[in-house]
Amino acid sequence: MKKLFLLAILFTFAVKTHAQDTSPKEQETDEIIDGLLEKNQNIDALLKSISKLQFLYLSMNYNNKTYFSGRDIGVNQYNLTPKISYMHSSGIYASLSGIYYSEFDPNWDLTTASIGFGKDFGKQKKLRYNGSYSRYFYNNSLDNAYNNVINAGLAFRNKKRNFSSQLSLSYLFGNQDGLQIASTNYLLINLIKTAKAQLSLKPQLSIVAGNQTIELARNYFFNGHPVTVYTTNSTFDLINTQINFPLDFNYKSFDFELGYNFNFPNALKGETDVKNTSYFNFSVAYLINL
């Protein structure tokens, strides 16, 4: 279990910037495993005894419905997100992920490569900063709004490691430019805890605001040609509020999550009849100590 404790210490926070709303498990790996921090009661001693650690974190997430910035585009489909993340005790991390949509053509829509760096600081290491760069590789011939994201984040964790609050700023650029601010807050509630396993509830509140272009669909065809529908928010405004209720089970190096998620999208200029949405998610992950 020590490698799980240490991995949670070493990795960092980052913001989701792709249009598809995700479960907590699909968000950056730091958020996935940050709750493991509470398991270890002697973190400082462990850190002092270790100079170099490397990990791989393999995960697969399933969402039973697909929404974009909390919005329903009228297509009933599920999505899958495989992801592999590399982490080093120096604070360097990298990840490669993709997303598969059951009804889009092509189904494999996007591959994302990310690299970043993060460190704890302050009294009792309660604060953490991070910066990252992500590159989007689209598997379609559409005029995609963004190909690059630069992100900076600042997070706070309490002494018991059962509460965290993060503020992230992202600059999106490519064919268009956009700005996004996200606030993510969660509680870690332990239900069952043993030497090898832990069952916990991790309710999370995420608020996203910005002035970016929101891509609402990829599978609309006109005269045989694909058309992408956009909503452009030229003024800074609230985009979506999401509440997650994930039930997380850790056993040795395995991590399982079953969650229910609620979206409360805010109608932007030009949008009408924007409804609240919800979906289930399930994920499985495995941690490899290199």
CA distances, 252 to each of 1, 4, 8, 82 (Å):
6, 8, 14, 21
User: The tokens 């490397």 sit on which residue?
Assistant: 54
Q: Which of 17-26, 112-121, 185-194, 209-218 has the lowest mean pLDDT?
A: 17-26
Q: What is the pLDDT of residue 231?
A: 62
Identify the residue with better confidence: 187 or 16: 187
The 10s digit of each residue's pLDDT in 70-86 is 998 888 999 999 999 99
User: The tokens 């990990």 sit on which residue?
Assistant: 55
3-state secondary structure of 1: coil
| 2 confidence band (pLDDT: 50, 70, 90) | very low
Would you say 17 and 26 are in contact if contact means Cβ atoms under 8 Å apart?
no
Residue 28 tokens read as 């950056």
73 contact partners, CB below 8 Å, separation of at least 6:
66, 67, 216, 217, 229
Quickly count: other Cβ atoms within 10 Å of residue 274's Cβ. 18
C-alpha 102/C-alpha 89 separation (Å) is: 37
Enumerate the domain spans of the chain.
2-289
Quickly count: other Cβ atoms within 10 Å of residue 134's Cβ. 25
Q: Does domain 2-289 have CATH number 2.40.160.40?
A: yes
Q: Largest Cα–Cα distance in the chain? A: 65
